[in-house]
Amino acid sequence: QTVLTQPPSVSGAPGQRVTIPCTGSRSNIGAGYDVHWYQHIPGAAPKLIIYINKNRASGVPDRFSGSKSGASASLAISGLQAEDEAYYYCQSFDRSLSGFMIFGGGTKLTVL
């Protein structure tokens, strides 16, 4: 069960800007829990790129930015490069589940 909703895919040409939305609810993002973003290239370890909504992880270029508003968040990537092609996952916390961390379903970014 995915409680954070992401589009399955987005695409953009090199140099363009794309955004990946992450929609939650009042029990997770809307309850004030922070959102974090991970980049995953199949075959490699996932990589933290944005933490606490808008902070870039070490070594992440400033082409990547995050934002949060209400029960939603988004990841923006400007100046698209071929190396950005990957899956992107948002992650938060949900107080309605006896579990802990929740992930979005993931978005495949294709650089045309």
Partner 1 sequence: QVQLVESGGGVVQPGTSLRVSCATSGFIFSHYAMHWVRQAPGKGLEWVAEIIYDGSETTYAESVKGRFIVSRDNSKNTLDLEMNSLRPEDTALYYCAKGRDGFSIDYWGQGTLVTVSS
Question: Out of 31, 48, 60, 76, which residue is the one contacting partner 1 (CB under 8 A)?
Answer: 48
> How far is residue 44's CA from residue 73's CA, in Å, rounded to a whole number?
25
Helices and strands per DSSP (H, E), number in the chain? 0, 10
Residue 57 DSSP label: P
SS3 83: helix
DSSP structural state of residue 43: T
Q: Is 41 in the site for partner 1 (CB under 8 A)?
A: no
The binder of partner 1 chosen from 66, 71, 93, 109 (CB under 8 A): 93
Contacts to partner 1 from residues 53-92, by CB under 8 A: 57, 87, 89, 91-92
33 lines the binding site for partner 1 (CB under 8 A): yes
Contact residues toward partner 1 (CB under 8 A) are 2, 33-34, 36, 38, 40, 44-48, 51-52, 57, 87, 89, 91-93, 97-106
